[in-house]
């Protein structure tokens, strides 16, 4: 629980109280209707979300990790196949590949935008490579134009991991609509978050949408008790869908607030040599799921921010290839020099749509004070 004067990394209560009536009504309507699994509200949310993104199909599922797994299964990716994954992301991106029996192949990240380094993808492509999963990390769109070129050249699928980038845009078009399919997470702290786990697959490919829906519902598609394939259970609950449907109309406004808060941070902190700020790149709308700065004195910064009741966190402390789970790959630090360097410097500082100018100023004052003593 947040302490009274604390500035949290994310303030979920502030968002709830801003929309309390609408959310409470959505939940109670859902309870009164009594259709908790596969209720009509799930379809309504799926339609609203695909329309918002400009995509043809949306299939709700249990969480973002399942969304990735359902996409890979629907693409028939499995044992013997390889999938390219960035070295810096949440483990779910790679886990999904392992969990369908395929092998994640890690690629280092770009030192400016922290998404997959487009110059290092081709050297990792083999005859076994079937897909590239790109991650729009922290809310920043990956370098899609070049990734699309590479994928076309080698006949690979592009799967977008959009768990951190609801509403972000690339050349004015929403991310999540560039690849064969995209995976969204509605984990509570995401830019569009539920009150528990939730996820979705978004695609323009009808066959893939049907396949993902079928696998996620025990192999049934249109007819109950007609199990066409061996599937599993990964569905979006009606209560979560009702909350997401109530929140969706506010997503763009919340993203604008995040962008404004980020601009405020940047205007206060730019020009300080020892702090590296997120880059604003052309033709991309970064939606700042996280506001990540870099400092070579990160540990001191953490100590001072914590003492001043300001939350901060590291996303993520280790590149995926160096997590114990991936020891079996026997990677060396020099295989991923940028991810290694960056994970020693990154720090996420508070960002959420309701953050006030005065909270941002307080955080900047502390950072500037520390900077002067460096």
The span from the CA of 92 to the CA of 70, in Å, is 13
Piece in contact with ligand PLP (CB under 6 A), picked from 158-166, 219-227, 340-348, 352-360: 158-166
Q: Which of residues 88-127 bind ligand PLP (CB under 6 A)?
A: 89-90, 92-93
Q: Does 360 bind ligand PLP (CB under 6 A)?
A: no
Q: Does 63 bind ligand PLP (CB under 6 A)?
A: yes
Q: Which is nearer to ligand PLP, 62 or 353 (CB)?
A: 62
**173-174 vs 169-170, strand pairing mode:** antiparallel
Q: Which is nearer to ligand PLP, 240 or 242 (CB)?
A: 240
The span from the CA of 49 to the CA of 189, in Å, is 18
Q: Would you say 287 and 166 are in contact if contact means Cβ atoms under 8 Å apart?
A: yes
Q: Does 74 bind ligand PLP (CB under 6 A)?
A: no
Q: Which is nearer to ligand PLP, 57 or 187 (CB)?
A: 187
The span from the CA of 179 to the CA of 342, in Å, is 27
Q: Does 135 bind ligand PLP (CB under 6 A)?
A: yes
Shortest Cβ contact with ligand PLP: which residue?
Answer: 64
Given candidates 199, 278, 319, 321, which one binds ligand PLP under the rule CB under 6 A? 199
The span from the CA of 62 to the CA of 60, in Å, is 7
Given candidates 72, 102, 156, 163, which one binds ligand PLP under the rule CB under 6 A? 163
Piece in contact with ligand PLP (CB under 6 A), picked from 116-124, 160-168, 260-268, 272-280: 160-168
Piece in contact with ligand PLP (CB under 6 A), picked from 60-68, 262-270, 279-287, 348-356: 60-68
Q: What is the DSSP string of 207-225?
A: HHHHHHHHHHBTT-SSSTT
Q: Count the site residues for ligand PLP by CB under 6 A.
A: 15
Q: Does 64 bind ligand PLP (CB under 6 A)?
A: yes
Contacts of residue 184, defined as CB under 8 A and 6 or more positions apart, other chains included, come to 49, 64, 67, 162, 163, 166, 176, 192, 199, 200, 201, 202
Q: Which is nearer to ligand PLP, 74 or 164 (CB)?
A: 164
Piece in contact with ligand PLP (CB under 6 A), picked from 11-19, 85-93, 242-250, 271-279: 85-93
Q: Strand ranges (DSSP E) for 204-341?
A: 275-276, 284-285, 291-295
Q: Kindly list the strands in the beta sheet with 291-295, ordered across the sheet, starting from the edge strand earlier in the chain.
A: 275-276, 291-295, 346-349
- Using a 10 angstrom Cβ sphere, with 0-12 exposed, 13-18 middle and 19 or more buried, the burial of residue 144 is buried
Site for ligand PLP, rule CB under 6 A = 63-65, 89-90, 92-93, 135, 161, 163-164, 185, 187, 197, 199
């Amino acid at each position: 629980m947040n302490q009274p004067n604390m500035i949290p990394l994310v303030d979920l209560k502030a968002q709830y109280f801003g929309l309390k009536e609408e959310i409470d009504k959505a939940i109670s309507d859902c309870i009164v209707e009594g259709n908790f699994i596969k209720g009509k509200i799930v379809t309504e949310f799926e339609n609203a979300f695909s329309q918002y993104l400009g995509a043809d199909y949306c299939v709700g599922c249990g969480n973002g990790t399942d969304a990735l797994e359902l996409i890979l299964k629907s693409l028939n990716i499995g044992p013997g196949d390889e999938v390219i994954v960035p070295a810096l992301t949440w483990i779910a991106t790679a886990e999904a590949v392992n969990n369908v029996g395929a092998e994640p192949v890690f690629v280092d990240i770009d030192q400016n935008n922290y998404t997959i380094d487009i110059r290092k993808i081709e050297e990792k492509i083999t005859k076994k490579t079937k897909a590239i999963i790109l991650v729009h990390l922290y809310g920043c769109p990956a370098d899609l134009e070049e990734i699309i070129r590479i994928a076309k050249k080698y006949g690979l699928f592009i799967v977008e991991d959009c768990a951190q980038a609801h509403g972000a845009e690339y050349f004015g078009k929403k991310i999540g609509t560039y690849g064969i399919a995209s995976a969204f997470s509605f984990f509570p702290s995401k830019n569009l978050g539920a009150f528990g786990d939730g996820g979705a697959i978004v695609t323009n490919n009808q066959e893939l949408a049907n396949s993902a829906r079928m696998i996620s519902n025990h192999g049934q598609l249109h007819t109950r008790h007609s199990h066409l394939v061996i599937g599993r259970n990964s569905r979006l609950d009606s209560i979560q869908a009702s909350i997401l449907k109530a929140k969706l109309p506010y997503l763009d406004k919340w993203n604008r607030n995040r962008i404004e808060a980020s601009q405020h941070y940047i205007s206060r902190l730019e020009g300080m040599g020892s702090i590296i700020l997120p880059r604003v790149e052309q033709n991309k709308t970064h939606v700042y799921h996280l506001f990540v700065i870099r400092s070579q004195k990160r540990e001191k910064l953490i100590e001072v921010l914590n003492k001043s009741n300001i939350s901060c966190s590291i996303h993520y402390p280790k590149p995926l290839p160096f997590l114990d789970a991936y020891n079996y790959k026997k990677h060396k630090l020099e295989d991923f020099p940028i991810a290694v360097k960056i994970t020693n410097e990154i720090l996420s500082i508070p960002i959420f749509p309701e953050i006030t100018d005065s909270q941002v100023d307080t955080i900047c004052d502390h950072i500037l004070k520390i900077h002067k003593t460096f």
